Amino acid sequence: MSLEQFKNRNVGTQNYKTLDVGTKPEKGMAQFVQVVQRTFKGELFVGLGVTMKAMLKALFANDMATIQYPFEKLPISPRYRAIHEMLILLESGNYRCIGCGLCEKICISNCISMDTRYDEAQRKEVSEYTINFGRCIFCGYCAEVCPELAIVHGPRYENASEQRAGFSLFEDMLTPIDKLNLQQEYDGFGAVSPNADENIKQTPLAY
């Protein structure tokens, strides 16, 4: 395959249009003439007219093609899989995670790190849980494999930090305290039933 063929290898299949840009003038005068011709072609004013129209519409009709991020945000799909969330049990407020370690084992980027211990009642509890978001590729395997629906992908996509260490802080990234009340249940094994609020006083477990 020649270099030209290689460059154009996708052109036919994706309906690209090739512009006729003419030949490059060699001499100085010819180059000057080309610049003048291109500068004062009618298309220049057509383009300016389009810009002016859009500007007037934005100024006087409040009809803007852009959004004022971060004050306005485009809706994202409910299936969007962004930063993980560690869910809590709505009844007790305890974390749903039982420390089984499946998410840590299945993670193909090896970015989940967790530790468990036994509490006073000899129940296993998760003592540490971090995800290195600098390495995570958001494949979703961890959420897929979790038997308790404890870790899920949430809709938060705005995550920035001055330090890489900030990409794994449990409180900041995985369970932001001020957003706990926004957590939503996901259907599946272990999920709270839709009428959980009605049954909450009948739950026999003390957790």
Tokens at 43, concatenated: 């298309």
What's the CA gap between 141 and 136, in Å, rounded?
11
Q: Closest CB to ligand SF4 among 34 and 155?
A: 155
Distance CA 115, CA 113 (A): 7
Minimal distance in Å, beta carbon 151 to ligand SF4? 4
Are 153 and 143 in contact by the 8 Å Cβ rule? The answer is: yes
Q: How far is the CB of 103 from ligand SF4 (least distance, A)?
A: 3
Q: Which of 168, 112, 164 is nearest to 140 (CA)?
A: 112
What's the full length of the chain, in residues?
207
**Least gap, CB of 129 to ligand SF4 (angstroms):** 7
Nearer CB in complex with ligand SF4: 34/109: 109
As measured in angstroms, the least distance from the Cβ of 199 to ligand SF4 is: 23
Rounded distance between C-alpha atoms, residue 50 and residue 152, angstroms: 45
**Closer CB to ligand SF4, 111 or 192, in the complex:** 111
Binding residues for ligand SF4, per CB under 6 A?
A: 97-103, 106-109, 111-112, 131, 136-142, 145-146, 148, 150-151
Nearer to ligand SF4, 138 or 170 (CB): 138
